[in-house]
């Protein structure tokens, strides 16, 4: 992506609250018509980043550019960037139609009443709220409120929409449905979405590109499948919530961990030595079996049924919980005896190794 097609760019943005750095020299850009999801744990500075881009907070240092223009000192209401709030922030005393029309009726540019009515109706139809126009916003469901929030922003025809955990206030079922709708609506409008979330599944499912933020810094950016299969640091692997992580020592191409010493031909450079193996890459053998690869003795504790897969929990001798995922498409799950020892094994080439001597 080149600077010419970038819709927005932030350059070395730093923001502190009472000495604590919420954003530490963050540089990020997004292209036209792109879905960018920003993944980070709570306190990683992701909401602050959105608020700086929207203009609700001024950065301590760094510049914000939008459509090639420096907007660092432009007030929020003159930026033309849409913002969808986590709790939707609908105007409680107005109807659905009045909420959606608010920006056109009260914005700086004057839009005729006819055009306002027509654009309002068009966007209400698009988000699927036809028939609800005259309801109060406290008389509609959570999913419908989410649509009103989105319609209210989209009707202003912004080139960039910032979404602050937009699905966080919805129940799981609705979240799945809104996920698809958000993508469909965005594709229809052809605008850039910057979607902030603390949920790794949401970030991976929705973004054309995923940015991982931790302690005010961007620690990785890439396509969802690239992030998922090649996390660049133990922290990214940790946020993905799909890896068993073991501390140990990496030296001369060998990783010494609780499972013995294993050859680690390929290692990623990181500040600490960590051995990561995905939940669904582990195999469970009887304790008496002899494994070819690395093996870890662990006690079976319990399992959790997840619909398409079963998650088995094991405890190693030093008290660490190891998760093993069994996809039900691969056949019925094996039944394990609680409090019995098993042998966990995996193919060493499927592990991701981080270490100080990695490349």
Partner 1 sequence: MSDVSVEAKREGPSWLILPGIIWMALFMVVPIAMICYVSFWTQTTFNISSTPTLASWKQFFASDTYTGALWTTVRIWLIVLATTFIIGYPTALFVGLFVKSKTLSTVLLVVCVIPFWTSFLIRVLAWRPMLGKEGAINIILLKLHIITHPIEVLLFTELSVIIGMSQIYCVFMVGPIAFMLGRIDRNIIEAARDLGAGFGRIFWKIIFPLSLPGVVVGAIFVSVMVLGEFATSGALSGRKVNLLGNIIVTQVGSLKWAMASVTGVILTVVMGMVIAAFLRIVDLKQEL
Binding site for partner 1 (CB under 8 A): 54-56, 75-83, 85, 87, 89-93, 102-103, 106-109, 152-153, 156
CB closer to partner 1 out of 165 and 200: 165
Q: What are the distances in angstroms from CA 181 to CA 47, 128, 167, 213, 311?
A: 23, 10, 11, 25, 29
Whether the CB-CB separation of 206 and 35 falls below 8 Å is answered with yes
Shortest distance, CB of residue 71 to partner 1, whole angstroms? 13
CB closer to partner 1 out of 162 and 344: 162
Residue 155 phi/psi, 5-degree rounding, is -65, -20
Shortest distance, CB of residue 231 to partner 1, whole angstroms? 33
Shortest distance, CB of residue 111 to partner 1, whole angstroms? 10
Shortest distance, CB of residue 8 to partner 1, whole angstroms? 15
Whether the CB-CB separation of 341 and 287 falls below 8 Å is answered with yes
User: In 3D, which of 69, 72, 10, 73 has the Cα closest to residue 36?
Assistant: 10
CB closer to partner 1 out of 113 and 271: 113
Where are the strands (E) in 49-166, listed by range?
Answer: 61-66, 69-70, 82-84, 160-164
Shortest distance, CB of residue 103 to partner 1, whole angstroms? 3
Shortest distance, CB of residue 105 to partner 1, whole angstroms? 8
Q: What single-letter DSSP state applies at residue 190?
A: T
CB closer to partner 1 out of 46 and 326: 46
CB closer to partner 1 out of 89 and 306: 89
Q: Are strands 267-269 and 260-263 parallel, antiparallel or unpaired?
A: unpaired
Q: What is the dihedral of CA 327, 329, 332, 337, to 10 degrees?
A: 0
CB closer to partner 1 out of 153 and 233: 153
């Amino acid at each position: 992506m080149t600077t010419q097609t970038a819709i927005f760019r932030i350059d070395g943005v730093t923001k502190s609250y009472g000495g604590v750095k919420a954003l530490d020299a963050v540089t990020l850009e997004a292209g036209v018509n792109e879905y960018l999801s920003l993944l980070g744990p709570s306190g990683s500075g992701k909401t602050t980043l959105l608020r700086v881009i929207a203009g609700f907070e001024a950065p301590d240092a760094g510049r914000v550019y939008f459509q090639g223009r420096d907007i660092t000192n432009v007030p929020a209401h003159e930026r033309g960037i849409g913002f969808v709030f986590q709790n939707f922030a609908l105007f409680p005393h107005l109807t659905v139609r009045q909420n959606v029309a608010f920006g056109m009726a009260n914005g700086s540019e004057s839009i005729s009443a006819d055009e306002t009515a027509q654009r309002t109706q068009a966007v209400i139809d698009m988000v699927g709220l036809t028939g609800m126009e005259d309801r109060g916003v406290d008389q509609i469901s959570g999913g419908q409120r989410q649509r009103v929030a989105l319609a209210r922003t989209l009707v202003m025809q912004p080139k960039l929409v910032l979404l602050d955990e937009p699905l966080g206030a919805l129940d799981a079922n609705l979240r799945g449905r809104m996920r698809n709708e958000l993508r469909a609506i965005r594709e229809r409008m052809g605008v850039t979405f910057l979607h902030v979330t603390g949920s790794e599944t949401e970030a991976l499912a929705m973004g054309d590109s995923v940015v991982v933020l931790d302690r005010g810094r961007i620690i990785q950016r890439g396509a969802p499948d690239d992030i998922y299969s090649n996390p660049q640091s133990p922290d990214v692997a940790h946020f993905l919530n799909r890896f068993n992580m073991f501390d140990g020592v990496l030296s001369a191409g060998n990783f010494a961990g609780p499972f013995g010493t294993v050859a680690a031909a390929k290692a990623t450079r990181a500040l600490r030595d960590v051995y990561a193996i995905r939940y669904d890459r582990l195999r469970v053998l009887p304790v008496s079996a002899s494994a070819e690869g690395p093996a870890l003795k662990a006690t079976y504790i319990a399992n959790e049924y997840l619909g398409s897969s079963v998650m088995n929990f094991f405890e190693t001798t030093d008290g660490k919980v190891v998760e093993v995922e069994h996809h039900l498409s691969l056949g019925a799950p094996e039944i394990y005896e609680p409090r019995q020892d098993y042998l966990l094994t995996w193919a060493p080439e499927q592990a991701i190794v981080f270490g100080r001597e990695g490349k």
